[in-house]
Structure 1
Amino acid sequence: MSVNIRDFHIDIPQSTLDDLQSRLGMTRWPDPEPVEDWSQGIPLRYVQEVAEYWRDEYDWRRCESTLNAYAHHLTVIDDVDIHFMHIRSPETSARPLIMTHGWPGSIIEFMDVIGPLTDPVSHGGDAKDAYHLVIPSLPGYGFSGKPKETGWNIEKIAQAWDVLMNRLGYDRYFAQGGDWGALVTSVIGVQNLGACAGIHINLVVVGSPPEYIMQNPTPEEQASLARFMEYQTQGGGYAEIQRTKPQTLGYGLADSPVGQMAWILEKFQGWSDSDNTPDDSFDRDRLLDNIMLYWLNNAGASSARLYLESFANPNVDPVQMPTGCSIFPNEIMAPSRRWAEHRFKNLQYWGESSKGGHFAAMEVPELFLGEVRRCFGNMEL
């Protein structure tokens, strides 16, 4: 392994966990919402319930132990420490795959798919579906360092991931991502620096529909446009705040664990199959594991800055690289295949799942696994 890569072990000081307990016990609550649903945001009663569970029952050391069962490393790229998990498959024919999370997710999203992807035989699968996994934390997220200068946009991150994979000795690899990870992965395809052989995304960002679609949209495309319009008018306020004033937002998220928890949990309800609460689609401990990676690393402001860097004008340049796209029904944006083909010129796989949403690897891991396997199964390194 390169001398530029250091081993990393997660060991949160007990004093940090004690501070969290104290803050949770001193929460000052807002008035309850005057409605019976989530239309004004995450309901007070549910937040109080989760906060009580977080304080009295949640066990961070369980999560820490689970994470530490895998190999973690740090490496400096352009003056920023990049944290990543590197899990090599026991299969000699395994192919390298870098998987990238987004906001408000983290490496926690992939915990249920690491085993089946790296060691499919032990999980009832086929050795041909084995991958060596590299799972980085985005700059400013999780255990990665926080950029001290502007400029860490999705283009720079895509270049950094190529440096990382080459530093690990992978001269050919695949790339996969959702949310910001999908935008980074798509830009890996745009840049096409020579090492990446193909990409898979489960958030398909394609830009505005071409004129031929707008003139005669299918019912599917009409529904997709309507859902995205609803997101822009009713669900996108968080993004505008993070795009314009991430530092101001950061004071509240750095000081209040309940504030950080509510800021994240609301999206796990709105972007999934959850009808009532995120507990309908996700394990509560896993939700809190993800939140802890933000809280413990004081990443509220630093994670939000990626919106300032890349949200207003995301890269939607054409992608010539072999591409696979998976559409989950409760995703923010779900373009049609012909719409996607307007950007992805070498679309080799297209999948549409029966359920799931924005956090597919965490919400419907078996369906997610099937999409990844079918996509890369037909691609050559």
Structure 2
Amino acid sequence: MNEAIEPFVIDIAQEALDDLRDRLQRTRWPQEIGDNRNWQAGANLAYMQELTDYWLNGYDWRAQERAMNAFPQFRTTIDDVPIHFIQVKGKGPNPIPLIVNHGWPWTFWDMRRIIGPLSDPAAHGGDPADAFDVIAPSLPGFGFSSPLEKPGIYFAPTADLWAKLMTRLGHERFATQGGDIGAFVSAMLGHKYPQRVIGAHLHLLAALKAPYPAPEDYAPAEAGWREKHAAFFAQGSAYMQIQRTRPQTISFAMNDSPVGLAAWLIDKRRAWSDCAGDVETVFSKDDLITAAMIYWLTETYESSARHYYEGRPENFIPAFVHDRVPVVEAPTGILQFQGDIWLQPRKWAERYYNLKRWNVIDTGGHFAPMEAPGVLIDDLRAFFRPLRK
């Protein structure tokens, strides 16, 4: 078995960039459905045309590539799954190994604003005692963790892969943090490997198995949360149903049209962030395009969407290794943002998790490492201080 960990440098062939430019120039634009200024029918035509003009005439992939390559990156293969990750060693007296997990439609690059402050607190006005060794992987089948040819990969098998990755990196015990799919991965690590997980810090909560949140679990201060959760599934979860049931079909379009792929991804970044309808208050054009570029250049829309298809309940329920309560026995810190697409009640979380910290922030949305990196960093540091030994 090859357990080598190799340095990795992003170096996209010019032919791929030339092909992309040709496709952008030949975009066949759809008709818009009525007055879609508020994106109620999906991505707005005028905005996508404006973004594509910038993509062609102002955006610089090579500059983005250089910025990514400023971070030490590596590749390895675990159980026939290629894994790409950033690893930055902590500068402090006793750094904790910390694996930070992104989601969909994120990439590893959404973690860039938290890596420096977490690994080198003193350089960012913090206490060196709060340092972490930061490992920021691309989820299997996302970006440079590709090509994913092995079936059956979703958040539960990913947790097993990450446990093996941390062993390979020399870390018997470690911490974990995540949102979106990454929160599922971190929670599963805390469920399956509580003896190894120092703590799990989450900024999204999902009830993967019983006990589920009940109406009586919501406190007065949590009024409207249950309704917001229901509204998301009624009005904003069509992408999830497609990716759970027919990801292969839509992959033909996503793998062939860069503008189509970008529209699919950006619609979610706008809808799920606390941006008041203006996505560029959170993500710049460069941010949006670079995220789409990582999916496009690695041809990983299909393998990223496959996490939904493979992670259906009939697959993940058997992955749980005990029926005890709390389900997640590792110490857990929870940070929720009022602007996120759903929030879960504290009373339920106290049953489901070995809850050690709870915080709810008025502003901020789904993409905490990009939207509110300072809040996330401060909360994560505070959670882990009493867990350091």
Q: Normalised by the size of structure 2, how large is the TM-score?
A: 0.93
Indicate the residue corresponding to 1:160 in structure 2. Answer: 161
Measured in 2, the distance between the counterparts of 1:285 and 1:216 equals 42
Matching residue of 2:15: 15
Deviation of 1:238 after TM superposition, in Å, equals 0.3
How far the C-alpha of 1:378 sits from its partner, in A, is: 2.2
1:231 aligns with 232
**Map of 2:106 onto structure 1:** 105
Q: Aligned letter for 2:363?
A: K
Q: Across the two proteins, how many residue pairs are aligned to each other?
A: 379
- Answer yes or no: is 1:348 the counterpart of 2:349: no
Task: Flag structure 1 segments of 5+ consecutive residues without an equivalent.
Answer: none
RMSD over aligned CA atoms reads 1.9
Q: 1:311 to 1:220 in 2, by over 3 A?
A: farther
In structure 2, what is the equivalent of residue 50 of structure 1? Answer: 51
Q: How many angstroms apart in 1 are the aligned matches of 2:217 and 2:11?
A: 56
Helix, strand or coil for the counterpart of 1:287?
Answer: helix
Aligned AA for 1:198? G
Contact 2:3 2:76 in 1 (8 A): no
* Alignment match, 2:116: 115
For residues 348 and 307 of structure 2, the distance between their equivalents in structure 1, rounded to whole angstroms, comes to 26
Partners in 1 of 2:188 and 2:209 — Cα distance?
Answer: 17
Contact 2:89 2:134 in 1 (8 A): yes
- 3-state secondary structure, aligned to 2:113: coil
Q: Which residue of 1 aligns with 2:376?
A: 368
1:316-331 to 2 correspondence within 5 Å? 318-331=327-340
1:245 partner amino acid: R
Q: Deviations over 1:51-74 (max 9, x none)?
A: 111111111111111111111111
Contact 1:246/1:301, CA 8 A, preserved across alignment:
yes
Identity %: 39
Cα 1:348–1:212 shift into 2, 3 Å:
closer
Shift of 1:210: 6.0
CA distance in structure 2 between the aligned counterparts of 1:122 and 1:16, rounded to whole angstroms: 38
Aligned to 1:131: 132
Distance 1:108 1:221 in 2: 32
Q: Which residue of 2 aligns with 1:41?
A: 42
**Which has the larger displacement, 346-355 or 279-288?**
279-288
> Is 2:186 the partner of 1:185?
yes
Residues of 2 paired with 1:203 and 1:150: CA distance? 26
Q: Measure the CA separation in 2 of the matches of 1:287 and 1:379.
A: 36
Q: 1:133 to 1:215 in 2, by over 3 A?
A: closer
1:100, 1:212 → 2: CA distance? 24
The 8 Å contact of residues 95 and 132 in structure 2, kept in 1 or not, is answered as: yes
Distance verdict in 2 for CA 1:66–1:216, change over 3 Å = closer
* Secondary structure of residue in 2 paired with 1:134: strand
* Residues 215 and 326 of structure 1, relative CA distance in 2, 3 Å threshold: closer
Structure 1 residue 62 corresponds to structure 2 residue 63 = yes
Judge which range, 172-181 or 270-279, deviates more: 270-279
Letter in 1 for 2:225: S
Instruction: Give the superposition deviation at 1:331.
Output: 1.4
More displaced 10-residue stretch of structure 1: 228-237 or 282-291 = 282-291
